Chain A
Amino acid sequence: MTGIGVIAGLTCREAARRRVLAAAAVLGGAFLLLYGFGLHMVLASLPAAVARQVLVRRQAVVALFSLGMYVVNWLVVAITILTSADTIAGEINSGVIQAVVTKPIRRWEVMLGKWLGFAAMLTGYLLLMAGGMLVEVRLIGGHTPSDVPQALSLMWLETLLLLAVTFRFGASLSMLATGVAVFGMHILAFLGGWVEEFGSLAHSQTAVNLGVLASLVMPSESLWRRAAFDLQGPVVGAFGRGPFSVGSVPSGLMVGYAALYGAAALGLAIRRFSRRDL
Chain B
Amino acid sequence: MQNAAIETAYLRKTFGEKVAVRGLTLEVGRGEVFGFLGPNGAGKSTSVKMLLGLVAPTAGGALLLGRPLSDREVRRRVGFLPEHFRFHEWLSGEEFLRFHGRLYQMPRARLDRRVPELLELVGLADHGRKRLRDYSKGMLQRIGLAQALLNEPELIFLDEPTSGLDPAGRLLVRDIIRAERARGATVFLNSHLLSEVEVTCDRVAFIKHGEVLETCDLNKLDAGGLSIVARVKDLPAEALAGLEAWAGTVRLEGESLTLEIRAEDAVPEVVAYLVGKGARVYSLHSRRASLEEMFLRIVGTEGGL
Contact = CB atoms under 8 A, between A and B. Distances in A.
Interface stretch (A91-99, A146-154, A161-169, A176-184): A91-99
A96 B82 CA distance: 9
Contacts of B144: 99
A17 B90 CA distance: 7
Contacts of A102: 52-54, 75, 78, 80, 82
B63 to A, nearest CB: 17
Nearest to B79: A102
Contacts of A17: 90-91
Interface stretch (A2-10, A46-54, A197-205, A208-216): A2-10
B54 A278 contact: yes
A278 B80 CA distance: 15
A6 B99 contact: yes
A100 B103 contact: yes
Contact of B100 (A18, A94, A99, A106): A99
Contacts of B80: 98-99, 102
Interface in A98-146: 98-106
A95 B82 contact: yes
Interface in B66-80: 72-73, 75-76, 78, 80
A226 B253 CA distance: 94
A96 B49 CA distance: 14
Interface string A1-27: 011001000100010011000000000
A101 to B, nearest CB: 7
A77 to B, nearest CB: 26
A104 B86 contact: no
**Nearest 10 pairs between A and B by C-beta?**
A103-B103, A95-B86, A104-B75, A277-B55, A98-B82, A278-B54, A6-B102, A102-B52, A17-B90, A104-B76
12 contacts: A10-B99, A94-B86, A95-B84, A99-B87, A99-B100, A102-B54, A102-B82, A103-B100, A103-B104, A104-B103, A104-B105, A277-B54
Given A99-B82, A104-B104, 17 more contacts: A2-B105, A3-B103, A6-B102, A6-B103, A10-B99, A18-B90, A95-B82, A96-B87, A100-B100, A102-B78, A102-B80, A103-B103, A104-B105, A105-B72, A105-B103, A277-B56, A278-B49
